């Protein structure tokens, strides 16, 4: 029988001890365990026989010197030479598998020179306190570092309440942590932050457990200040958020620079848009072209706001001139060149009806305007052009080309006849006395001819990374030549957009189609 069960009252006490969760040990005057509660057996994963007779310090596996001191202490307590320490104390014990548990004990003297220890398992509390102590030490080290930093740094609890803020925050906002409640009504970052979306940002960080950066404008200072803030979660050993740290980077100078750039960019864009209106005003009116060629289209898609490609139209007494020109470059440089080219082409057409002679005059005019004939001049800009003069009385197309061809599809046919231009540009390295050739092509009613720049065929596809190429462009015209000119234009425009698939347009696009 267990010593505690000797009396009726002992049996009652024993029954209570067997059914409570408190940890109870009873030892004799030598420190040998004569009773342990079932709660201890469950905790240590042992049987009663494994514990009975052990000295209770064996459960803690302390060193021999500590054991000796505890034996002497128990003897003196039981002998009454020293008082029993009734203050609770915490010690660790190990279960059968070596797992450590922290128990808070309180001792008492029992009958028959016994010593009773009553304890409770405080392992979770002990570990949480250790974690808190570690975190506090880490935060203290962080705060010491943060004090020396130029950044605004805030340390929050898991709910967003500010626990610490850096000296930089105090200087920038003329506020201390103790002032926040009075001025902001709270120390919570939701009330302190200038970002209207801070609640959503905080919730996202807590839900996804990842850092997040956001931009804010500081309204608490006498000047405009901007910061990019990064809010990062700090975790405990169980991957639970215990703190949040916000680090601000001052980007005011960058924002000011961006504003200057935006303003300048707007000025430049406004100027280019104005240049676009000027350039478009110099292009022929479509009503004049359709009056001369009722069945015709012009597909004109500049890469940028202004274009280095341009089309030309002039109706003479017996001849109608139409041209597709591609000047060096695109955008603003190309547009400037196109203005020079269009002016010089108009001047040349006023002097001759012969396309070959017009190109020769144009070549001289460009080289002279750009001073390309002067020694040491580095400007080598010029243009490629396909120029047609349609003799409507004799049904003849007079054609001259500089690096650009003329394509003809006869009525009822799908064969593309190509009349090649010469492999020379207008201006640049071409000699100012270079003779351009003229080609005469008889046509019948219903025949269709096309002149164009290289932009359509040179366009890349986003999916394949390949150019459309001239061969494919020619197939498109062959397969659609029976359609009306308006339908052809619509198809060409739709096809090139589908081909690009969102890829950047690489060059100005100009395609002219005329059914005679």
Taking only the tens place, the pLDDT of each residue in 165-204 is 877 777 777 778 777 777 777 888 888 888 888 899 889 9
Task: Taking residues 470-488, report their average pLDDT.
Answer: 96
Which residues is 515 bridged to in the sheet?
448
Is the pLDDT at 499 greater than 80? The verdict is yes
Residue 268: how many CA atoms within 13 Å on its side-chain side? Answer: 8
Other CB atoms within 10 A of residue 225 CB:
19
Average of per-residue pLDDT across 370-377: 70
Burial 126-141 (b: 16+ CB within 10 A, else e): beeeeeeeeeeeebee
Please say if the pLDDT value at position 95 is more than 90: no
Check: CB of residue 318 under 8 Å from CB of residue 392. yes
Which of residues 219 and 233 earns the better pLDDT score? 233
Exposure on the CB side of residue 115, measured as CA atoms within 13 A: 28
Angle 338-512-424 (CA atoms, 0-180°, nearest 5)?
Answer: 55
Asked whether the predicted pLDDT for residue 50 surpasses 60, the reply is yes
Return the pLDDT at 293: 96
Considering only residues 144 and 153, tell me which one the structure prediction assigns the higher pLDDT: 153
What's the pLDDT score for residue 22? 76
What does the block give as tokens for 77?
């307590």
Predicted confidence band of residue 384 (pLDDT cuts 50, 70, 90)? very high
When comparing pLDDT for 205 and 141, which is higher?
A: 205
**Whole-number pLDDT of residue 9:** 47
Pick the residue with more confidence: 291 or 273?
Answer: 291
Q: How far does CA 44 lie from the centroid of its chain? A: 54
Query: Do 349 and 293 contact (CB within 8 A), yes or no?
Result: no
Averaged over 64-84, what is the pLDDT?
75
Rounded average pLDDT over 140-161: 72
Average pLDDT along the chain: 83
Q: Is the pLDDT of residue 75 over 50?
A: yes
Rounded Cα–Cα distance for residues 397 and 385 (Å): 16
pLDDT over threshold 90, residue 307: no
Residue 479 has pLDDT above 90, yes or no: yes
Q: Is 277 exposed, middle or buried (0-12, 13-18, 19+ CB in 10 A)?
A: exposed
The residue-averaged pLDDT of 97-115 equals 82
Confidence of residue 329 (pLDDT cuts 50, 70, 90): low
SS3 label, residue 250? strand
Residues 295-314 have a mean pLDDT of 92
Confidence band of 456 (pLDDT split at 50, 70, 90)? very high
> Does 351 have pLDDT greater than 80?
yes
Contacts of residue 403, Cβ cutoff 8 Å, sequence gap at least 6: 384, 385, 421, 422, 423, 424, 425
């Amino acid at each position: 029988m267990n010593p505690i069960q000797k009396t009726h009252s002992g049996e009652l006490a024993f029954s209570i001890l067997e059914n409570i969760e408190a940890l109870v040990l009873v030892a004799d005057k030598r420190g040998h365990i004569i009773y342990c509660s079932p709660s201890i057996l469950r905790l240590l994963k042992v049987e009663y026989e494994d514990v009975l007779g052990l000295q209770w310090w064996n459960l803690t596996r302390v060193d021999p010197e500590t054991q000796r001191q505890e034996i002497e202490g128990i003897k003196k307590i039981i002998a009454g030479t020293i008082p029993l320490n009734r203050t609770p104390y915490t010690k660790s014990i190990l279960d059968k598998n070596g797992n450590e548990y922290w128990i808070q004990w309180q001792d008492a003297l029992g009958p028959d020179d016994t010593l009773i220890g009553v304890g409770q398992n405080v392992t979770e509390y002990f570990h949480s306190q250790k974690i808190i102590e570690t975190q506090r030490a880490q935060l203290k080290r962080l705060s010491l570092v943060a004090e020396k930093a130029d950044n605004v740094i805030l340390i929050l609890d898991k709910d967003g309440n500010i626990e610490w803020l850096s000296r930089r925050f105090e200087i920038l906002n003329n506020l201390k942590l103790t002032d926040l409640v009075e001025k902001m009504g709270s120390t919570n970052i939701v009330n302190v932050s200038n970002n209207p979306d801070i609640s959503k940002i905080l919730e996202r960080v807590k839900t996804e457990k990842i850092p997040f950066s956001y931009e804010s404008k500081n309204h608490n200072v006498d000047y405009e200040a901007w910061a990019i803030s990064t809010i990062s979660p700090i975790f405990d050993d169980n991957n639970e958020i215990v703190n949040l740290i916000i680090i601000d980077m001052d980007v005011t100078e960058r924002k000011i620079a961006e504003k200057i750039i935006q303003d300048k960019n707007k000025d430049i864009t406004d100027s280019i848009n104005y240049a676009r209106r000027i350039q478009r005003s110099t292009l022929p009116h479509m009503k004049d072209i359709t009056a001369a060629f009722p069945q015709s289209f012009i597909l004109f898609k500049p890469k940028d706001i202004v274009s280095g490609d341009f089309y030309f139209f002039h109706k003479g007494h017996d001849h109608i001139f139409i041209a597709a020109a591609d000047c060096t470059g695109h955008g603003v440089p190309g547009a400037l060149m196109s203005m020079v080219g269009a002016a010089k082409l108009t001047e040349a057409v006023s002097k001759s009806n012969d396309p070959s002679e017009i190109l020769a005059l144009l070549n001289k005019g460009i080289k002279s305007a750009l001073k390309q004939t002067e020694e040491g001049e580095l400007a080598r800009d010029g243009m490629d052009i396909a120029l047609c003069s349609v003799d409507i009385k004799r049904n003849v197309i007079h054609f001259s080309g500089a690096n650009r061809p003329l394509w003809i599809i006869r009525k009822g046919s799908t064969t593309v006849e190509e009349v090649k231009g010469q492999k020379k540009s207008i201006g640049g390295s071409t000699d100012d006395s270079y003779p351009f050739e003229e080609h005469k092509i008889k046509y019948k009613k219903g025949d269709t001819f096309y002149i164009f720049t290289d932009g359509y065929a040179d366009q890349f596809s986003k999916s394949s990374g390949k150019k459309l190429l001239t061969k494919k462009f020619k197939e498109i015209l062959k397969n659609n030549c029976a359609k009306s000119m308006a339908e052809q234009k619509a198809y060409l425009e739709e096809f090139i957009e589908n081909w690009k698939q969102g890829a950047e347009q690489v060059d100005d696009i100009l395609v002219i189609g005329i059914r005679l």
